[in-house]
Amino acid sequence: MTEKTSPTVNSFVSQNRGLILSLLALVVLPFIVGLFEGASLGAVWQNESGTSKFVQGLAIEIFILAIYALSYDLIFGITGLLSFGHSMFFAAGAYLSGILLKSFDLSLGMTLVWVLVIAVVNAFLFGIVLPRVKGITFALVTLGLGSVFHIVIMSREVGDYTGADVGLQAVPVPEFINPATHRLTFYFVAIVLLLVVYFIYKRFVDSPTGRVCVAIRENEDRAKMLGFNTFYFKIVALVLSSVTAALAGTLHTLYQPIVSPNTAGLGFTVTALLIILIGGVGTLNGALVGAAVYRLLDFGLRRYLGESASFINGAIYILIVLYLPFGIVGTWRMQSAKITEGRKRLLKLLKLEK
Amino acid sequence: MDSEIIFETEDLRKVFGGLVAVNDVSIKVHKNTLHAIIGPNGAGKTTFFNLLSGNLEPTSGKVFFKGKDITNQPVHRTIHFGIGRSFQITNIFPNLTVFENIRLASQAMGRDNFKFYRRTGSFQSYANRSWEVIELVGLVDRATTPARMLPHGDQRKLELGMILAPDPEVLLLDEPTAGMAAEQVPELITLIQGIQQAGDKTVMLVEHNMNVVMSVSDVITVMHQGAVLAEGSPSEIAANETVQTAYLGGLYQLDL
């Protein structure tokens, strides 16, 4: 690709350098943590309990959150659709996989197929209102759809399957990926899935379809006038997002292996929103960084401050939004561009002085 | 004028509440002409354009494009027929680069919109077309600049480029020089004239600058309170008594 044909293309190599490094770090992380504690590599490999296993668990939660946040970034950050019912996509995956594994004894493969089908149906459910409502109205309609789902999940009529307000308990997890006995396997499966989702999203955003989604976010009327039927593009984004979120939900069920009705609530949608606000809206990388910051901050504060953690947590989020208005990744990109420019200007100036 | 008719309206009417914005307008636009629509503010010029381009649906009446009825076609479809439309208020993608703005416009015409598995950079034809257009409107140096950082005059040029990229047969230009510095106006007008003459395109122009209208137009339609007041060549319009009192206020004298 020549310089002239694509001025918008980012420096792909330098971006992936950070990714490869962090990936390597994540692969050795369980073993390093184990060594610090004096556990042998073999012990870590055998999934013996210890700090390493605990850290793996925390990391798995981050990966699941990251996949979920990526899916929200696609519809909110990239396509510009503000949805307040996004947790429904996640919870549908989580509940469905749990119910199919527990009450219907389906294999993991069949479960995944069903999750995929229902995720697509969900996306279309959100999609049918798209041509009629925009902006904040869309947010409210999706909030309504999500709330209906939440109420249905909690209702006593389906309690035999969903566990009503207690949640879905004791989901049988296939042994080869059981997080209690095979956590390291689960850890690597989660990393691989996160990577696959991340690269699919990267490619999507850089594809002709994704570019139109960005155009819709920027100025939907203009996109229509260029000749794009924006409805179809929004549906594509919703389907991809819903499938991803449902995958994250399935992983969540397999890992926990319980499903709380909270995953269907508005609070969990706000979690996704918060994660990408911290990381940087519309940056994709921001969802990964944001998920890590969100989970670690929550974990750390809760450990040392106990009950008052959420208060401090909230204060930190306010500070982040105030001082990093484009999120960590967004602000970083902007600043590094400024620094490069400033350095160029400085060099020019110094030459002039000579 | 005996060339073929490209655009035709039949008793086109648009009512907003109690206001008749466009009142039974029937006009014929001939191919390869520069057809100006003038009239005082509120005469219904922009609404008329919106009816032609599909941004609005008419209350009654019909629009024909190349003999085909395109009444009630949505705006994302009319452009595929070959109708490009610019706006009085600059309408671009502010945070995208100049190149990307125009590249999107080129991509819209192709059949690759749903190839979500391929990189945008691998579609050379759209990039090539975009560079052609960027060169034509004179924004090569600005190609990587985000559109919002451009001065107003360049944004108008960018918008013109976005309409030109799909290579439409008819350009509907709604006050292309609006808000431009006076010294930039002739440049843009020359550009529009050049495009019209070089690519055998039809241009419909709404414009308030009478010097521009009188010098470039082949045909002028004068609108007043939603209806057509007069139509004719620039010299006929300048000599028309009714037009003089209704719009030009007796002030405009054609320098011949």
Residue with tokens 């400024």: A338
Q: Chain B window 21-40: which residues touch A at a Cβ cutoff of 8 Å?
A: none
Phi-psi region of B200 (alpha: psi -120 to 50; beta: other; left: phi over 0): left
As a whole-number percent, the residues of chain A with pLDDT over 90 amount to 54
Query: Are A219 and B116 a contacting pair at CB < 8 A?
Result: no
Is the pLDDT at B256 greater than 80, yes or no?
A: no
**Minimal CA separation from B216 to chain A, in Å:** 27
Amino acid in position A230:
T
What pTM value is reported for the model? 0.87
Is the pLDDT at B254 greater than 70? The verdict is no
Share above pLDDT 90 across residues of chain B, in percent, rounded to a whole number: 27
For residues A327-338, average pLDDT: 88
- The C-alpha angle B197, B199, B203, rounded to 5 degrees, equals 65
Report residue A45's pLDDT band, with 50, 70 and 90 as the boundaries: confident
Say which residue the tokens 């490009």 belong to: B84
Judged by DSSP in three states, B228 sits in strand
pLDDT for res B250: 54
Judge: B79–A7 Cβ closer than 8 Å, yes or no: no
Query: Is there a contact between B105 and A226 if contact means CB atoms under 8 Å apart?
Result: yes
User: In this complex, do A208 and B127 lie within 8 Å of one another by their Cβ atoms?
Assistant: no
Q: Pick the range with the lowest mean pLDDT from A2-16, A160-174, A338-352, B12-26.
A: A2-16
pLDDT of residue B79: 86
Find, among A259, A93, A97, A255, the residue nearest to A167 by Cα. A259
pLDDT tens string A8-36: 445 555 667 778 888 889 988 888 888 88
For residue B224, the one-letter residue type is H
> What is the DSSP pairing of strand B68-69 with strand B60-65?
antiparallel
Looking at mean pLDDT, say which of A41-55, A154-168, A200-214, B80-94 comes out highest: A200-214
Tens of pLDDT, residues B64-118: 998 889 988 888 888 888 898 888 888 899 999 999 999 999 998 888 888 888 8
Fold of the domain built from segment(s) A60-323: ABC transporter involved in vitamin B12 uptake, BtuC (1.10.3470)
Architecture of domain B1-82+169-256 in this structure: 3-Layer(aba) Sandwich (3.40)
Query: Percentage of residues in chain B with pLDDT exceeding 70?
Result: 96
Can you tell me the distance from the alpha carbon of B87 to that of B176, in angstroms, rounded to the nearest whole number?
7
Q: Which of residues 128-167 of A touch B (CB under 8 A)?
A: none
> A33 vs chain B: nearest CA distance in angstroms?
38
User: Cα–Cα–Cα angle for A162, A166, A170, nearest 5°?
Assistant: 65
- The shortest CB-CB distance from A218 to any of B94, B103, B121 is to B94
pLDDT computed for residue A17 by the predictor: 78
- Measured CA to CA, the distance from residue B256 to residue B254 in angstroms comes to 6
Tell me which of B116, B126, B155, B163 to substitute to probe the interface with A (most A C-beta atoms closer than 10 Å).
B116
Instruction: Give pLDDT tens digits for B159-210.
Output: 999 999 988 889 999 888 888 888 888 888 888 888 888 877 899 999 888 8
SS in 3 state form for chain A?
CCCCCCCCCCCHHHHHHHHHHHHHHHHHHHHHHHHHCCCCHHHHHCCCCCHHHHHHHHHHHHHHHHHHHHHHHHHHHHCCCCCCCHHHHHHHHHHHHHHHHHCCCCCHHHHHHHHHHHHHHHHHHHHCCCCCCCHHHHHHHHHHHHHHHHHHHHCHHHHHHHCHHHCECCCCCCHHHCCCCCHHHHHHHHHHHHHHHHHHHHHHHHCHHHHHHHHHHHHHHHHHHCCCCHHHHHHHHHHHHHHHHHHHHHHHHHHCCCECHHHHCHHHHHHHHHHHHHHCCCCCHHHHHHHHHHHHHHHHHHHHHHHHHHHHHHHHHHHHHHHCCCHHHHHHHHHHHHHHHHHHHHHHHHHHHC
Domain boundaries, chain B: 1-82+169-256, 91-167
- A353 pLDDT band, cuts 50/70/90, is low
Say if B149 is an interface residue toward chain A (CB within 8 Å).
no
Model confidence at B251, pLDDT cuts 50, 70, 90, reads low
The predicted pLDDT at position A352 comes to 65
pLDDT greater than 50 at residue A4: no
- B249 — pLDDT class (breaks 50, 70, 90): low
Query: Per-residue pLDDT averaged across A138-157, rounded?
Result: 92
Instruction: Select from A207, A238, A243, A341 the residue whose CB has the most chain B CBs within 10 Å, as the one to mutate to test that interface.
Output: A207
Mean pLDDT, chain B, as a whole number?
86
Which B residues, 150 through 189, put their C-beta within 8 Å of a C-beta on chain A?
A: 162, 166
What interface predicted TM-score (ipTM) does this complex get? 0.84
Helix axes A108-127, A135-154, angle to 10 degrees: 140
**Residues A215-260: pLDDT tens digits?**
999 999 899 989 899 999 999 999 999 999 999 999 999 998 899 9
User: Would you say B3 and B32 are in contact if contact means Cβ atoms under 8 Å apart?
Assistant: yes
Mean pLDDT value across residues A76-101: 94
Give A300-322 pLDDT, tens digit per residue.
Answer: 998 888 888 888 888 988 898 88
- C-alpha pair distances (Å), A43 with each of A33, A55, A59, A189: 12, 15, 19, 19
Average pLDDT, chain A: 88
Provide mean pLDDT across the span A197-209.
94
Tokens, residue B200 = 């055998």
Residues 187-226 of A with CB under 8 A from B: 203-204, 206-212, 214-215, 218-219, 221-226
Closest residue by Cα to residue A77 from A267, A210, A253: A210
Query: CA-CA distance, B232 to B105, in Å (whole number)?
Result: 34
- Mean predicted confidence (pLDDT) in A128-132: 82
